[in-house]
């Protein structure tokens, strides 16, 4: 089975959500007779961005509910310790 990493899922879903939201908002404004211009374009962009952000947050929330919380990585400030850990990594 082919699965994408979670970041790609978020990118794909948010891009699709942005395009659909922009199309619907643009169509709604055409129906209302709002003239085209910079303000209208910015409003379409802002609404579509908020919808896209919400879709991404929903994907993150669902993934955490399904897989559980991800462990927090500890970052060491000691460069020699970091090089030892990287050297032990198996390909």
Question: Hey, where are the domains in the chain?
Answer: 6-88
Q: Binning pLDDT at 50, 70 and 90, where does residue 74 land?
A: low
Query: When comparing pLDDT for 16 and 88, which is higher?
Result: 16
Contacting residues for 67 by C-beta, under 8 A, at least 6 apart: none
Helices 6-32 and 38-67: angle between axes, nearest 10 degrees: 150
pLDDT for position 2: 42
21-68 residue pLDDT tens: 999 999 999 999 999 999 999 999 999 999 999 998 888 888 788 877
d(CA 9, CA 3): 9
d(CA 6, CA 25): 28
Residue 82 has pLDDT above 70, yes or no: no
pLDDT for position 68: 76
């Amino acid at each position: 089975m082919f699965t994408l990493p979670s970041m790609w899922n978020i990118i794909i879903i948010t891009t699709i959500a942005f395009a659909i939201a922009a199309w619907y908002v643009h169509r709604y404004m055409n129906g209302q007779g709002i003239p085209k211009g910079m303000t209208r374009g910015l409003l379409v962009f802002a609404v579509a961005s908020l919808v896209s952000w919400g879709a991404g947050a929903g994907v993150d929330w669902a993934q955490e509910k399904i897989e559980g919380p991800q462990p927090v990585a500890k970052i060491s400030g000691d460069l020699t310790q970091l090089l030892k850990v990287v050297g032990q990594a198996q390909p």
